[in-house]
Structure 1
Amino acid sequence: MNGIIEFLQTNGVEMLYKTWEHLYISLIAVLFGIIVAVPMGVALTRMKKGAGVIIGFVNIIQTLPSLAILAFFIPLLGIGKVPAIAALFFYSVLPILRNTYTGVRGVNKNLLESGKGVGMTVWEQIRYVEIPLSIPIIMAGIRTSTVYLIGWATLASFIGGGGLGDYIFIGLNLYQPEFIIGGAVPVTILAVVIDYILSITEDKVTPKGIKGMKEVA
């Protein structure tokens, strides 16, 4: 216990910076994942063939070891935050892509036909019908992806990406448990807090009609 208190006294300010650094790396990767995966998920619903193959391919990428992905980007992007964000981006895509595809595919076809009947274009159907009705499922994918990435971002320190993983690896190398705790506990707290914030965001962006349907169900 004394070691942890001493660690906080010595590294408290630096820990705040590394926590921000960790959060920055994770959220930027998730943001890129959303930008790529949501449109891709919608596009896959328009494909009569090949959607399953593409999702399967992305799923295979997801199974690759995190360190292997990080190492892959070193010759391309060097070391630091950029390759770390690129590697985390790869891991962010699958949950968001899969949930977007599932959510949009699950939209009631009668509603789409009604949209066509009132003269909606394809883009208008996506914007005003498919995406709003799929929001709860899409947000579930974003929440899953974000929580995973906050945990995986600890590996960014292997390639100089910074974040709370620095403390964990220092603790492992020097056999100092207070450093491991000083890195692991804030990561866990970050994941819980961000998941809670995203759950509130999900509630805010979900159309009231869908909320009513969920309450009735």
Structure 2
Amino acid sequence: MLGQIIQYFQNNSGQYWQYVGQHITLTVVTLAISMVIALPLGYIGSRIKVVANFCVAFAQVLRIIPSLALLFLLIPFIGTGIVPALIALVVLALPPLLINTILGFNEVSPLYKEVGTALGMSQRQLCRQIEIPLALPYILNGIKLAIVEIIASATLATYIGAGGLGTLIFTGLGLFDMSYVVIGAVSVAILSFLAMTSFDYLIRKVQKYDKANYSI
């Protein structure tokens, strides 16, 4: 099998990097859309309990929907291609983003807000200089969970013509050629690992900054 893998990269390296590019593009676009939806909604949810309860219930419902089932449910309404794949992946990415954003803002101690108010800060300044920095580790953790979920689930987007590394996996399954499956699966695992370790490092840096600057 190792020889087949080496031969594939010798003959199809351009195609491989095209699949990697498609996978990363799909992941980045999905994450951007999800953040635009989830972060403001999560912030509002941290302020308004009814919105928070709705977001939590909505996130729990989304978590029980299998990604492959969601992809196939969208086909009759939207067809195949990038758009239904983006919708399905956004739905899968929203729960961790919503939950962690609400949790992050709720974990900010009222004491910090009282100190900021006593120093004459406006609500906007409190949000920008105190709430967001202290909530950021939780938000970043939500982004980490979401991006790992997207990278893994984007392999299924191949079923509806969205491309990506899933093409290699399903081509290998169709041809009974495990070398394609291994290349695709290992590549997805590497992308997930790199994303996870990068965000873990970033979270540690932010937490260290918060401890240095917001210790009372």
TM-score when normalising by structure 1: 0.90
- Report the CA distance between 1:31 and its aligned residue: 1.4
Question: Residue in 2 aligned with 1:124?
Answer: 125
Provide the C-alpha distance between the structure 2 equivalents of 1:61 and 1:109, rounded to a whole number of angstroms: 31
Quote how far apart the aligned CAs of 1:122 are: 2.9
Matching residue of 1:73: 74
CA distance change for structure 1 residues 70 and 132 in 2, over 3 Å: closer, same or farther?
same
Cα-to-partner distance string for 1:18-44 (whole Å, 9 max, x where unaligned): 001101101211111111111111100
Q: Deviations over 1:142-171 (max 9, x none)?
A: 111111211111001000000000010111
Matched residues in 2 for 1:209 and 1:155: separation?
Answer: 38
Bigger mean CA deviation after superposition, 127-136 or 195-204 = 195-204
Query: Deviation per CA, 1:115-143, whole angstroms, max 9, x where unpaired?
Result: 33334333332222111101111111111
2:59–2:99 CA contact under 8 A, matched in 1: no
AA partner of residue 141 (structure 1): G
Say whether the 8 Å CA contact 1:155–1:165 is kept in structure 2.
Answer: yes
Matched residue SS, 1:107: coil
Q: Deviations over 1:69-128 (max 9, x none)?
A: 112332333211121112111111111111111111010101112233334333332222
Distance 1:78 1:114, change over 3 A: same
User: How far is 1:208 from its partner?
Assistant: 5.5
- Find the counterpart in structure 2 of residue 23 from structure 1: 24
Q: Does 2:60 correspond to 1:59? A: yes
Change (3 A) 1:207 1:151: closer
**Mind listing any 5+ residue stretches in structure 2 that lack a counterpart?**
none
CA change 1:46–1:142 in 2 (3 A) is: same
- What RMSD, in angstroms, separates the aligned Cα atoms of the two structures? 2.1
Distance 1:82 1:106 in 2: 36
State the partner residue of 2:210: 210
One-letter amino acid matched to 1:128: Q
Of the structure 1 ranges 110-119 and 147-156, higher mean CA displacement relative to structure 2 is found in 110-119
CA distance in structure 2 between the aligned counterparts of 1:11 and 1:160, rounded to whole angstroms: 20
Corresponding residue for residue 186 of structure 1: 187
Amino acid at match of 2:115: S
Q: Is the 8 A contact 1:132 1:207 kept in 2?
A: no
Contact persistence 2:133–2:210 (CA under 8 A): no
Residue equivalent to 1:32:
33
Instruction: Report the Cα distance in structure 1 between the residues aligned to 2:121 and 2:72, rounded to whole angstroms.
Output: 47
Aligned-partner Cα distance in 2 for 1:117–1:211: 21
> 1:119/1:76 Cα in 2 relative to 1: closer, same or farther (>3 Å)?
farther
CA distance in 2 between counterparts of 1:11 and 1:209 reads: 45
Alignment size in residue pairs = 214
